[in-house]
Structures are given as C-alpha cells and as structure tokens.
Amino acid sequence: MHYAQSAGGAGSLTPILMIVLLFGVMYFMMIRPQQKRRREAEAMQAALSPGDEVVTIGGLYGTVTGVDDETVLLEVAPGVQTRYARPAIARVVTRAELPATPANEDADTVKE
C-alpha cells in the first residue's frame, strides 16, 4: 500500500511538468522573438538620420529631412513635408551616405 501512494504522488507531478514545459516552449517560440524584433525596431528608429529613405507603417515612402527626440520630418514629394512619430517608421529602405563631393559642385559642372 505504501507503493501505491508514492506512485499516485508521481502521477500528479506530470501535469504540472507539462504545463511548465508548455510555458517554456511558448516563451522561446513566441515571446522571445517578439522582444527581439521590438528591440531591433527601436534601434532602427533611434538611428534615423536626414537623408534616409523610409517607409511608414501606413506604407508611405519618404526621405527623412529632420529628426528630433519624438518625431521625424519626412519629405514625401518635392516641397511636401510631413511629421511622424518615430514609432510610425516601419523600416529604412536606404541609408543616407555622405557624398564624396558636395552637391553644389555637381550643379557647377556644365555638360557639353
């Protein structure tokens, strides 16, 4: 009879282990990757600089013309600028690179 009681105790531990295992799998399959994506998005939004071409969460393409702590100023058409919250930037299409020559020199050259 003593053996029956110890076997019954071990059987009640199995459902608890299954629940713990289920939560462990959910953490590694769902929660952890989502946290990683959020950290990457925050890093991308923090690294925005003028000249970057971006896409907003609404699908609007634009070029960053100004950045402050909470907002980003985008030029969506020549002479048309709109202001967006930093979290509204979904991804960077192309990063701005420093030009090798100033832009004014290109305007001074004459093509013949």
Domain boundaries along the sequence of the chain? 1-46, 48-97
Instruction: Write down the pLDDT at residue 92.
Output: 92
| CATH number belonging to domain 48-97 | 2.30.30
Instruction: Write down the pLDDT at residue 81.
Output: 95
The answer, yes or no, to whether residue 107 has pLDDT greater than 70, is: no
Instruction: Write down the pLDDT at residue 101.
Output: 46
The answer, yes or no, to whether residue 73 has pLDDT greater than 70, is: yes
Burial code (b: 16+ CB inside 10 Å, e: under 16) for 31-65 equals: eeeeeeeeeeeeebbeebeeebebebeeeeebbbe
Instruction: Write down the pLDDT at residue 95.
Output: 78
The answer, yes or no, to whether residue 2 has pLDDT greater than 60, is: no
Instruction: Say if CB 64 and CB 49 are below 8 A apart.
Output: yes
d(CA 85, CA 41): 13
d(CA 74, CA 84): 7
Mean pLDDT across the chain: 82
- Tens digit of each residue's pLDDT (9 = 90 or more) over 27-70: 889 999 999 999 999 999 999 999 999 999 999 999 999 999 89
Instruction: Say if CB 21 and CB 29 are below 8 A apart.
Output: no
H-state helical runs in the chain:
2-26, 32-46, 103-108
